[in-house]
């Protein structure tokens, strides 16, 4: 990708970096040559990024032209809010504490030039902050309180803000940054789009195992994507990509939700989108929604402290109690009688004002129907763990799973597939795993999960390579639809 500096400073105030031309902001905004360029990385060095300034329009129009600005408007807005800045940087608290522990003052500011600081002891901290808030020149404020050091905010710097004594270092930092970029680009194969796959290498029960991630990457390359596995530390790099595919267990109170929201704000195609994460993460929402749209579910009661006596009358024993944010069978318990139910509800109400209670529907397996973009993708039987009523049983740090049996969709009862698709479509058009029970003559939706499991050797056993290709195909189609590609041919 070609790179340019865009600035509204005097042309004499530039960072002299080989092969990175300096373009006046007004020229970039008005000259049609730049609008026609593709794969252009725009480093915005304007004096201000405030709303409707030249700097603001440089970053805004860069996105409209399909260029990659640094910083993006979304990054600038996040930096403008101290509360959001602290939330984004919360994973850095231990590093901040280690880096600043020797300081005697209770305040500190750190100047970061293309991810580097002049003092070697702050190199790691500067690099990590730059990955979260990618802005060429920045100043970060810290304060120490009773709980230790905290990041107060990140402020972009103009070239004119640099002390004269910092110019040589800032120039060297910029040159080193672009040298690294050019070195990494030499090994990349030509691609039409860039895909980021968010994953956590340390996650014990990820939604995709390592081989499945490799197969997603191979499918992306077949579809002419450049593809990269990213982690939570790459939050600030999202604008470098055209799409984000989340393959890490999601939650609203989690960085995965922030990734989904930021990616959408940057104009990326996102699976799973933030709305799907929020809707699927809360069982109270799901219970209300599915009943409202007429999707069959087990008899269900939303329990609070004032109606807990109704559980026995409405559901009988045994019944299932679910924390609203339960997942992987965690936070899901069975009450066999009134005393057990009372004790379990008391415990549950310590964490949530509402709890889901459902009738117990005993089956040897749950169906899992994978639904993508409103259509069924795969089907599995998730068998119960031996001598247990769930598909997973946690015992300390170890989790035991029942057998997974993949089947062709045409061998699955039509009612199971159709009901699963209806439930998924009530949530959105993302990628869902719908858990379904067949009991006597009923087909019942247990829950709809965003970010469903796709593990090599399990969910992909029938479709094999085609499963991965279909997911990537949907991502590509959404990118092209957002850009109006192919509309004239329809």
Quickly list DSSP for 280-306. Answer: HH-HHHHHHHHHHTT---S-EEEE-TT
Q: Which residues of the chain have pLDDT under 50?
A: 186-188, 487-490
> What is the model's pLDDT at position 445?
97
pLDDT at site 143? 96
User: Could you give the CA distance from residue 411 to residue 433 in angstroms, rounded to a whole number?
Assistant: 18
Q: Residue count of the chain, please give it.
A: 490
Surface-to-core class of residue 355, CB atoms within 10 Å of its CB (0-12 exposed, 13-18 middle, 19+ buried): buried
Q: Cα dihedral sign for 421, 423, 427, 432? A: negative
Q: State residue 214's pLDDT score.
A: 98
**Angle at which helices 73-80 and 255-265 pack, to 10 degrees?**
130
pLDDT value, residue 301: 96
Kindly report, residue by residue over 212-269, the tens digit of the pLDDT.
Answer: 999 999 999 999 999 999 999 999 999 999 999 999 999 998 999 999 999 999 999 9
């Amino acid at each position: 990708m070609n790179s340019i500096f865009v600035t509204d400073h005097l042309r004499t105030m530039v960072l002299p970096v080989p092969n990175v031309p300096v373009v006046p902001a007004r020229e970039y905004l008005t000259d049609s040559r730049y609008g026609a360029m593709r794969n252009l990385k725009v480093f915005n060095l304007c004096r201000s990024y405030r709303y409707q300034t030249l700097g603001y329009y440089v970053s805004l129009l860069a996105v409209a032209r399909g260029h990659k600005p640094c910083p993006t408007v979304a990054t600038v807005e996040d930096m403008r809010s101290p509360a959001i800045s602290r939330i984004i940087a919360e994973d850095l608290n231990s590093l901040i504490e280690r880096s600043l522990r020797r300081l005697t003052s209770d305040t500190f500011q750190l100047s970061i030039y293309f991810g580097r600081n002049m003092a070697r002891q702050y190199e790691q901290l500067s690099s990590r902050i730059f990955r979260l808030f990618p802005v060429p020149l920045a100043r970060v404020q810290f304060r120490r309180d009773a709980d230790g050091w905290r990041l107060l905010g990140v402020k972009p710097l103009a070239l004119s803000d640099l002390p004269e004594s910092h110019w040589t270092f800032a120039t060297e930092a910029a040159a080193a940054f672009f040298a690294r970029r050019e070195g990494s680009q030499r090994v990349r194969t030509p691609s039409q789009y860039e895909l980021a796959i968010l994953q956590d290498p340390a996650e014990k029960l990820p939604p995709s195992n390592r081989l499945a991630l490799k197969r997603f990457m191979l499918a992306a390359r077949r579809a002419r994507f450049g593809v990269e596995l990213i982690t939570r530390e790459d939050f600030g790099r999202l604008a470098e990509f055209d799409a984000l595919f989340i393959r890490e267990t999601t939650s609203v109170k989690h960085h995965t939700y922030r990734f989904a929201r930021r990616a959408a704000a940057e104009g990326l195609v996102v699976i799973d989108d933030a709305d799907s994460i929020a809707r699927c993460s809360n069982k109270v929402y799901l219970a209300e929604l599915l009943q409202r749209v007429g999707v069959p579910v087990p008899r269900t009661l939303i329990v609070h402290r004032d109606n807990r006596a109704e559980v026995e009358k409405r559901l009988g024993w045994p019944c299932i109690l679910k924390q609203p944010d339960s997942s992987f069978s965690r936070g899901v318990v069975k009450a066999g009688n009134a005393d057990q139910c009372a004790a379990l509800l008391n415990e549950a109400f310590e964490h949530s004002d509402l709890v889901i209670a459902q009738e117990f529907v005993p089956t040897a397996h749950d169906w899992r129907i994978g639904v993508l973009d409103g259509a069924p993708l795969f089907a599995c039987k998730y068998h119960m763990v031996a001598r247990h009523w769930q598909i997973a049983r946690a015992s300390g740090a170890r989790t035991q799973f029942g057998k997974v049996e993949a089947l062709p969709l045409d061998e699955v009862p039509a009612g199971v597939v159709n009901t699963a698709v209806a439930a998924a479509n009530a949530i959105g058009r993302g990628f869902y795993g719908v858990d379904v029970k067949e009991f006597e003559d009923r087909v019942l939706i247990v829950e709809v999960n965003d970010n469903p499991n796709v593990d090599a050797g399990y969910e992909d056993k029938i479709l094999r390579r085609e499963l991965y290709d279909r997911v990537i195909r949907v991502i590509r189609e959404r990118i092209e639809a957002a850009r109006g590609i192919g509309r004239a041919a329809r």
